[in-house]
Amino acid sequence: MTGLAIDDAAWASAWRRRSPADKLLLSGGLVVGALVLPAWPGSVLVALTAVVLALGPARVPALTFGRAIRLPLAFITIGALTAVVQVGDGIGWAPDAATRAGELVGHALAGSAAVLLLATTTPMSDLLPALQRLRVPDAVIEVASVTYRLLFVLLTSLTTIREAQTARMGHSTVRRSYRSSGVLAAAVLTRSWDRARRLQDGLAGRGMETGLRVLPETLPSSRRFEALTVAGLAALVTVGVLA
């Protein structure tokens, strides 16, 4: 257990042993479909496909998937509301507000579901080497790798400090809880900054100018999975365009 629900789901997924390239093909195709197909029925079909694949063959817990999509859904809803407000003589809804909001929510929600399908089935330790083989710039991969590692430092500090505060009655009243939350945020930020600085100094002292080299696990691609992915995406495009 890593402490991150999405990461734990990815390690426990039934698709954990599948090649990251296969899952990138599937999720990338679904994201493109969510962007270019009409919101109805194209984006709806893309979102349903991503959810069904995640909860079905990939065996991602429904509770984890539902919690993971809550935050993107909140941003999408706020974005849709602000996009259909019209400011003129007064504030009101745009004439085609319902259509525009529906299209925006449909495209964004389908794309988010497709990305979550990849995130909940592929650990970062598999995804980063795959991105490196796809010629993604080393600087981008290095930043993503360091950020991923520091997340666990942040979580560990957060848990440790909160447990200490709770043991000292730091959350026994609302007023104490507010004060403890402020102290907790400041302490975690300071510790994270210090750990990041020490990590940078350590890597620089060792001459790590090209990143930390590791031996990635090789997971072969499945021709059958790739063929089914291409056929499924072609069917989605056909139905989304012709329906």
Per residue in 118-169, pLDDT (tens digit) is 999 998 888 888 888 888 887 788 788 878 878 887 888 888 888 888 888 8
pLDDT for the residue numbered 235: 92
For residue 12, give the nearest of 71, 54, 67 by alpha carbon. 54
Answer yes or no: do 87 and 150 share one domain: no
Which among 57, 219, 200 is positioned nearest to 125, based on CA atoms?
A: 219
- pLDDT over 60 at 2, yes or no: no
What is the per-residue pLDDT for 3?
A: 59
Specify whether 152 is located in the same domain as 176: yes
How much is the pLDDT for 213? 62
Residue 184 lies in a domain: yes
Domain holding 148, by residue range, is: 136-205
Q: Specify whether 108 is located in the same domain as 30.
A: yes
Cα–Cα dist 102/108, whole Å: 10
Asked if residue 209 has pLDDT above 70, the reply is: no
Are 150 and 95 in the same domain?
Answer: no
> In this structure, are 21 and 117 located in the same domain?
yes
157 & 195 share domain: yes
Residues 23 and 65 in one domain: yes
Q: Quick one: 28 and 107 in the same domain?
A: yes
Tell me the CA distances in angstroms from 204 to 150, 198, 211, 212, one per residue in order. Answer: 17, 10, 10, 11
User: Is a pLDDT exceeding 80 seen at residue 94?
Assistant: no
Indicate if 162 and 76 belong to the same structural domain.
no
Residues 115 and 223 in one domain: yes
* pLDDT for 90 beyond 80: no
Same-domain pairing of 39 and 101: yes
Instruction: Give the model's pLDDT for residue 165.
Output: 86
Query: Is residue 210 predicted with pLDDT exceeding 70?
Result: no
- Average the pLDDT over 44-64 and give the result: 93
- Rounded average pLDDT over 35-46: 88
**Residue 223: both structure tokens together:** 């021709």
